[in-house]
Structures are given as structure tokens and as C-alpha cells.
Amino acid sequence: MEENHSPGTELLSVPFPLVSNIAIGPLVSYLDPATALPAGQETVLGVLGDVYKQGGVTWVLDSRREFVMKQEFDADQPMSNVKIEVTKVEFDRKLPASTWVFTPPSDARRPQPVSSTSQVPDWALTPIPSPFHTPGYVPRGFVSRSGANSANREGVKTDRSTWELGDKSFEVSQVLRPSGPLSTPIGTPVAAGEFNAVWVTRGDRIELAWNAGDLAITVSSSDLPLEELVRIAESLR
């Protein structure tokens, strides 16, 4: 990182050097799309970022990753002599599988089952976790609009969820088949995180499909490119 400021500058009590320290996600929380004004583009570390101005601050945003690459304060701001810029960053680094493995502490104890005849207050009941996955990454501006799930007598469960932005949308469909083999999807191979997925086009719609254990998953859209569908697929947990 690089910080330029005079010896008399007093930094505010917020995370520095970049708000990205706490704001990586579907929307950079300090950047309000209702008031931020586009101001062209700028390249930082070889990344062509979108420039925005808001509240006397200029931001350079890597919009693909929702990551702030640079901040600069206007001349009439209290921190006008401060410029903050990423000088080294690494994206898409593969982490070992052990990173996501939880090992209970040695003194952990399994809770005793609750008798069906005992009186348990509603707040003490733990909801059953869903077998279906939810994307951790959603393209900026898209919000969940609809979802539907069902089950049949053979134990096959389905879940279909849609995210929308105006007239644009994408869909995540999942089929849980715990008692039978999953058919292998057919299409052009493409890596989606730890899974070997395939993609096909049906008219103007792109479908990205793969199997994850007992789940058959499809991410599809007529409005998003394949790269964005892969990114959504990689974030499913």
C-alpha cells in the first residue's frame, strides 16, 4: 500500500489504508450507487478500474471484484492531503482445502438430545440447515426476488432462486437426489472452483452445470457473461 500525507495529517478512526479492509462483497458499503457519480476509468496495477466521485472522495473501483484500488480526497476535504493506493495485491489465490475444515476443540461436547415430551421454548430450537447452497457473490445491484422449492416421494428435493436487476436476471437451480445417481451434465468443460463444470447455450441463455455430491446445480442467465456465472458458481456455499 502507499500513503501520501503531510506530518500534520490526522487520520480518522476508520480502517485504513482502504475501506476494502471491511467492505469487500456484493457492494462496497461506503460507495452509495444512488449518489456516486461515474468519472471515467483509471488503471491501477494493470487493472482497469471504474472511477467514482462521492462526498468529496474519488474512488477507483475494480468492479469485477468489488475491490477499492485507490482513494483520493478533494481539496476542500479535511483529509485533502491524503491519497491511498494499492501497490501490491493478489487475487484468485487457491487456498488449501484444510482452510475450510473445522476441527472441534478437544473439550467440545455433543449436546444431549431433547425429549419430544419436554417443554422447549421456541427460541431454544435450532433450525434444520438447508441442503442447498447460496451464492456468496452476487453481481452489484442484483437482489433476490423469488425462490421456490419442492420435494417428491422419492426424496428428491429441488430449489430454484432468482436474482434480478431491472430487466436483467440470473437463476440458481439445485436438485438434491440423495438416493440415486446424478446424470453427468453435457457441454463444454470449464473450471468452477473445485468442481469440473460444463456450459452450454440455449438460445440467448448460458447454462453452467455441475454435480456437487448429491446436488446437481445449474447457474444460468440471458444477461450475464460466462465469467460472471463462473464467479457466482465458485462462491456457492
* Per-10-residue mean pLDDT, the chain, length 237: 41 43 43 73 89 82 77 73 79 81 83 59 54 88 83 81 92 85 84 85 92 90 92 90
Rounded to the nearest angstrom, the gap between the alpha carbon of residue 213 and the centroid of all alpha carbons in its chain is: 22
pTM of the model: 0.47
Please report the domains of the chain, with CATH numbers, ordered by start residue. Answer: 2-85 (no CATH), 136-235 (3.40.1000.20)
- What 3-state DSSP class applies to 156? coil
Checking DSSP bridges between strand 205-212 and strand 215-221, what pairing results, if any? antiparallel
The set of residues, in sequence order, having a beta carbon less than 8 Å from that of 192 and lying 6+ positions away, is 208, 210, 230, 233, 234
What pLDDT, on a 0 to 100 scale, did the predictor assign at position 200?
A: 92
User: Are 19 and 11 in contact, with CB atoms under 8 Å apart?
Assistant: no
Give the type of residue at 158: T
Rounded to the nearest angstrom, the gap between the alpha carbon of residue 235 and the centroid of all alpha carbons in its chain is: 6
What pLDDT, on a 0 to 100 scale, did the predictor assign at position 16?
A: 40
What pLDDT, on a 0 to 100 scale, did the predictor assign at position 219?
A: 95
Tell which phi-psi region holds residue 203, choosing left (phi > 0), alpha (psi between -120 and 50) or beta. left
